[in-house]
Amino acid sequence: SGHVAAASLWAGLRAMAEDVEDASAAGVVSLEVRARMWASMFWTMDQARQLVSDMVRISTSSVYVGSNPTEMALRDLHATCASMEALREAAQAAGRVYLGMPAASVFFA
């Protein structure tokens, strides 16, 4: 269900945030931790966008009413995702780190 998927995404973000906080407190945020941060953030964003889009797809036409919470969630999530696309290169750099390649990104400098 959507609730279980959302809870799972939230748990993954919390775990990633704890790893980043622990590394930061220790004084060194490694490439691997930064890669997990960027990859987790974009994967969660993409999954959330898909979940909300699927919810709208199976909804009735009432979802398109301006004050419907489902329509508002779709609009807000897509607006947030659109603003993050400029940073998509960081997720690609995270993939390079996972593959043992140089990140080649200002986000990993």
Q: pLDDT (tens digit, 9 = 90+) per residue, 29-42?
A: 999 999 999 999 99
pTM value? Answer: 0.81
Q: For the packed helices 88-98 and 31-57, what is the interaxial angle rounded to 10 degrees?
A: 120
Beta-strand runs (E) in the chain: none
Identify the pLDDT of residue 73.
Answer: 81
Q: What is the mean pLDDT of residues 85-106?
A: 93
* Listed residue (83, 82, 86, 88) closest to 38, CA to CA: 88
**Torsion angle of alpha carbons 41, 84, 52, 37, nearest 10°?**
0
Q: What is the CA radius of gyration of the chain?
A: 17
Q: pLDDT (tens digit, 9 = 90+) per residue, 41-94?
A: 999 999 988 888 888 788 777 766 667 787 788 888 889 999 999 999 999 999
